[in-house]
A and B are shown apart, each in its own frame.
Chain A
C-alpha cells in the first residue's frame, strides 16, 4: 500500500526524516509514536501525499509519487482518508455538507449519496447533528465527524494525526473503536499518537504494529506497553 525505500525529507536545510524503509501492507494497523518534534506529522503528511520525499523512493498504491503529476497525486489523495487533530472543517458548511465534501471534490453528485451519508452519520452517532455547524460540535463530535468525512469515499487507508488528542478518554476509545471497526472491514489504519493507553487498548483487540520515530528515523517498536 505504502512503500518507503531509503526515503527522507528535508526542508530549509534541515533533515527532518531520513532513511525511511517501511512497507505498510493493506489491511494492517499501525501506530506511530515518538517525542514531539521527531517528525510524526511530517511522516503522516508524506503518507497522505501532502508532501513528497526529497530523498529516496516512496510509492503509494504502487504509484511512484515522484513521477505522479499534481492531478494524479490529488486522485491518490482521494483514496486516503485523513483525520486531523484539529479536524479541518469548512466552518461555513454544515456537518452534513462537510462530510459530503470529498464526494463533491471528486466530481460526484453528493445528492445521490444521501443514504450513504445518513448511514455514515448514524455509524458515528451524529445523525441528529447533521445540520449543525462545526463550531456547534463538541470535540468528540468533531473527531467522529472528521472520521465520517475521511471514509465517505471508501478509501483504502485511513491516516489519523492525534485523533484523540483533544478529547476525553471515553470519547477517545469510541473513536478508536470506529477505527478498529474500519480495520476489520479491511481498511489500513495509521494513527500518530502519544497515548500509550490507546495503543494498549488497540493491541488488545487487533494486531497493531507500533512505529517509533526518533530524530527523524523510524524504528519498529515492539516495546513493552
Chain B
C-alpha cells in the first residue's frame, strides 16, 4: 500500500467510503467475528506467556542444583558418604553442600507414607543437596569421575529428567500457541475475504456506476478497505478488552500453582498486538480481495 493509502486509512478517506452505502450485515458481522477471534487470541497468548513463566520458574528453581544420593551396603554407607562429602567440598565450582537430615526426608515422604512410620523400617539413602555455579561446567565431570572411583554407591542427579521435560513442555506450549494465533489470523483473513466478496456482490451496482465514471480499482477497493479494517480493528479491540477483563477477574493468587504467572508489567502490552494484527490482516485481505475481484471485470 502506498504512503497515501496508509494515510487514507489512518486519517480516513471518508469520501471514498461514503460512496458505498452503509447497509448489510457483512461489516457488522466482521466486527463481531474479529472480536471473538481477538478474545480467543488474547487468551491463547496469555496461556503461552503463563506456560513460559511456569517453565522459567521451575527451571530456575532446579537450575544449578543437584542431589547426590548414596545407596550402598549398610557397612559402606558412612564411608562412602564421607568420601563423597570430601570430594564435593574440594571440587571447584561447588558452591554449597548440605546433607539432608533423615527427618527432612521423612517429611518429604509424609504425604505418601504418613507420619507414623518407624524410621528404622525404612532404608532411606543418604541425600546431599549440592549447589553448582555451572551445572554444565567441568565440576560435574570431575565429581562423577571421582565418585566412581571413591564412592561407587553415590549417584549425582542434576535434575535433568525433571527440568528437560518442563522446558520441552513449555516450548511445545509456546509453539502450539503461536500456531493457534497464526490459524486465527488465517481464519480472520478468510472471514474478511468472504465478507468483502459478499459486500462487493451486494454493491455490484455501486461498483458498476463507479467504473462508469472512471473510478480506478484502487479507489473502489479503498471504499471497502477502510470500512472493513476499522470495523475488524474495533471489534478486535473490544474482544481484547473483554479478554483482559476476564483475566483480571480470574487472576491467579495465593498458593495457587499459577500464582505470579499472570501478565505483569510490560507484558500487559502484548495483547495490544492482537487487534493491531487483526486490523493489518483485515486491511491487506480486503484490499487484495477487492482488487482481485475488480481485475476480473473487463
Cβ-based interface call for A36 (8 A) = no
The residues of B that contact A79 with a CB separation of less than 8 Å are 214
CB distance from A108 to the nearest CB of B (A): 10
From known contacts A51-B298, A105-B210, infer whether A91 and B21 are also in contact, taking CB-CB under 8 Å. yes
Interface residue tally of chain B, by bracket? Answer: 20 to 34
Considering only CB atoms, which chain A residue lies closest to B210 in the complex?
A: A105
CB distance from A116 to the nearest CB of B (A): 16
Cβ-based interface call for A112 (8 A) = no
Cβ-based interface call for B245 (8 A) = no
CB <8 Å contact, A78 and B206: no
Cβ-based interface call for B150 (8 A) = no
The residues of A that contact B215 with a CB separation of less than 8 Å are 74, 105
Interface residues of B in 187-240 (CB under 8 A from A): 205-206, 208-219
The residues of A that contact B212 with a CB separation of less than 8 Å are 48, 50, 77, 82, 84, 88
Considering only CB atoms, which chain A residue lies closest to B16 in the complex?
A: A104
Interface residues of B in 132-151 (CB under 8 A from A): none
Scoring B residues 239 to 254 as 1 if CB is less than 8 Å from chain A, else 0, what string do you get?
0000000000000000
CB <8 Å contact, A105 and B298: no
Chain A contact residue count (CB 8 A cutoff): 29
Dominant secondary structure of chain A at its interface with chain B: loop
CB <8 Å contact, B298 and A74: no
Cβ-based interface call for B19 (8 A) = yes
CB <8 Å contact, A93 and B217: no
Cβ-based interface call for B3 (8 A) = no
Cβ-based interface call for A207 (8 A) = no
The residues of A that contact B208 with a CB separation of less than 8 Å are 88
The residues of A that contact B295 with a CB separation of less than 8 Å are 70
Q: How far is the CA of A104 from the CA of B213 in the complex (A)?
A: 10
Q: Which among B205, B209, B211, B214 is the interface contact of A106 at CB below 8 angstroms?
A: B214
Q: Which of B210, B216, B219, B298 has the most CB of A within 10 A?
A: B216
CB distance from B178 to the nearest CB of A (A): 39
Cβ-based interface call for A144 (8 A) = no
CB <8 Å contact, B213 and A82: yes
Cβ-based interface call for A89 (8 A) = yes
Considering only CB atoms, which chain A residue lies closest to B203 in the complex?
A: A90
The residues of B that contact A92 with a CB separation of less than 8 Å are 21-22
CB <8 Å contact, B216 and A71: yes
Scoring B residues 276 to 298 as 1 if CB is less than 8 Å from chain A, else 0, what string do you get?
00000000000000000001001
From known contacts A75-B214, A105-B215, infer whether A93 and B19 are also in contact, taking CB-CB under 8 Å. yes
Cβ-based interface call for B2 (8 A) = no
From known contacts A70-B295, A88-B205, infer whether A149 and B213 are also in contact, taking CB-CB under 8 Å. yes
Cβ-based interface call for B15 (8 A) = yes
The residues of A that contact B18 with a CB separation of less than 8 Å are 93
Cβ-based interface call for A203 (8 A) = no
Considering only CB atoms, which chain B residue lies closest to A91 in the complex?
A: B21
Cβ-based interface call for A209 (8 A) = no
Cβ-based interface call for A101 (8 A) = yes
Q: Which of B15, B213, B217 has the most CB of A within 10 A?
A: B213
Q: How far is the CA of A186 from the CA of B282 in the complex (A)?
A: 47
The residues of A that contact B216 with a CB separation of less than 8 Å are 70-71, 74-75, 105
Scoring A residues 82 to 123 as 1 if CB is less than 8 Å from chain B, else 0, what string do you get?
101000111111000000011011110010000000000000
Considering only CB atoms, which chain B residue lies closest to A102 in the complex?
A: B213
Considering only CB atoms, which chain A residue lies closest to B215 in the complex?
A: A105
CB <8 Å contact, B214 and A102: yes
The residues of B that contact A107 with a CB separation of less than 8 Å are 219
CB <8 Å contact, A50 and B19: no
Cβ-based interface call for A52 (8 A) = yes
Going nearest first, the 9 A-B pairs with the smallest beta carbon separation are A78-B214, A77-B214, A92-B21, A74-B216, A105-B215, A102-B213, A88-B209, A51-B298, A74-B214
Chain B residues with a Cβ under 8 A of chain A: 15-16, 18-19, 21-22, 205-206, 208-219, 295, 298
22 contacts between A and B (CB under 8 A): A48-B212, A50-B211, A71-B218, A74-B211, A74-B215, A75-B216, A76-B214, A77-B213, A77-B214, A78-B213, A79-B214, A89-B209, A90-B19, A90-B21, A90-B209, A92-B22, A101-B213, A102-B213, A105-B210, A105-B213, A149-B213, A153-B214
Chain A residues with a Cβ under 8 A of chain B: 48, 50-52, 70-71, 74-79, 82, 84, 88-93, 101-102, 104-107, 110, 149, 153
